[in-house]
Amino acid sequence: MFLFLSLLQLPPSFPARILPQPTVLNFDDHSSSAYNSTPWARFAKLANLEKGSHVSGICDLKSYFHRFGYFPEVAGNFTDDFDAELESAILNYQNNLGLPVTGKLDPDTIDLIMAPRCGMSDATPRAPTRVHETRRYAYFHGEPRWSNPHPMTLTYSFSPDHVIDYLSRDQIREVFSRAFSRWSEVIPVNFTEARDHRTADVRIGFYRGDHGDGEPFDGVLGVLAHAFSPENGRLHLDAAETWAVDFKTENSRTAIDLESVATHEIGHVLGLAHSTVSDAIMYPSLKPRSRKVDLRVDDVQGVQNLYGSNPNFNYESLLESDRETSGVKMVESLTWSALWMMALSLYIVHQFI
């Protein structure tokens, strides 16, 4: 008993290999095997490599990092050498995505590289930050924003041709209506649906593969969607995904929450680039079967710097909800730590008996 109680005093840091990880049937832990059949599954074999390695397939990883703004253009083809440029790309990627900055292809880094994400590059001039400031939002080059006259209304429309058939038009309209309203609650911008797709400010559609804008989609998972900076207005979703409006009725392991992605891409349409805050809507990665639709302080500060605040917006209640979410996460993490402690204690006690 004394041993058990003293173990509870220990900090929660012990090798995870002491006890087997629980079997996970969904994507909640980014497990590498979850992305086996996705466009970036081939990167799994690069796990644990570090500078100096030479392995077939590193050239593809350099191409991936180049696509998302971490690796420079080179003359000729990318090589299979794990060189200083690749290490630098990994360091920047880990720093940007909130991972431990090791410069190595550790399992967490490889899992996030293989995870589905937005197709927009992460390479953007970062918003100026000072010590003690927590904002991590960013804008596109030149900080473009919509310049429609005040009070600003942006129209949006769904492509009549580029559609998916397993969700009704009304289901998709409801999802986007909620996603737009989250942004209009915090900035003085209204969104209204327009009939004429060609003349709408924001033009939404589901596209497959190479669809003519230089940013081809890649099938199930991988890149999920992309949108263009102001005042372009194109918002494209990969038609190959299993888009879900309700995980109770959509059972696919690779289902992606439409509302989460819609909310993220509208952020791009308004002028926000990717954030380094993992809880923010503008973080580039989203796990299958997960839902993230609430704007966080980082998102709100970023978009309000571009457009000002909606006079009806209550900043205090946003801070409160941010604190509550962080609190819940802390309690969850403490609960898990306590459970691990108990399991470890029982395991060690068992070894001694």
CB of residue 117 vs Zn ion: minimum separation in angstroms?
A: 8
Q: In this structure, which long-range contacts are made by residues 330-333, counting pairs with CB atoms below 8 Å and at least 24 apart in sequence?
A: none
Joined together, the tokens standing for residue 166 give: 């397993």
Burial of 117 (0-12, 13-18, 19+ CB in 10 A): buried
Do 266 and 232 form a contact (C-beta atoms < 8 A)? no
Closer to Zn ion by CB, 49 or 224: give it: 224
* Burial category of 122 from C-beta neighbours within 10 Å (exposed 0-12, middle 13-18, buried 19 and up): buried
Evaluate the CA torsion angle 294, 297, 299, 304 in order and state its sign. Answer: positive
How many angstroms separate the CA atoms of 267 and 284, rounded? Answer: 11
Encoded tokens for 80? 């299979």
Residues 265, 320, 324, 332: which is the catalytic one?
A: 265
| Catalytic residue status for 265 | yes
Place of tokens 């327009």: 194
- Edge-to-edge strands, sheet with 189-193: 189-193, 152-158, 202-207, 234-238, 225-227
Toward Zn ion, which CB reaches closer, 97 or 118? Answer: 118
Non-local (6+) Cβ contacts of 123 within 8 A are 68, 69, 70
Contact residues: Zn ion, CB under 5 A: 118, 120, 213, 215, 236
Per DSSP, helices labelled H in 46-140 are 58-67, 84-96, 107-114
Closest to 108 measured CA to CA, from 123, 124, 88, 93:
93
Length of the chain: 353
Q: Please state the closest distance from residue 122 (CB atom) to Zn ion, in A.
A: 9
Q: Is the dihedral of CA 91, 93, 95, 100 positive or negative?
A: negative
- Nearer Cβ to Zn ion, position 104 or 234? 234
Of 81 and 215, CB closest to Zn ion:
215
In the complex, the smallest distance separating the C-beta of residue 53 from Zn ion, rounded to whole angstroms, is 30
Residues tagged active-site = 265
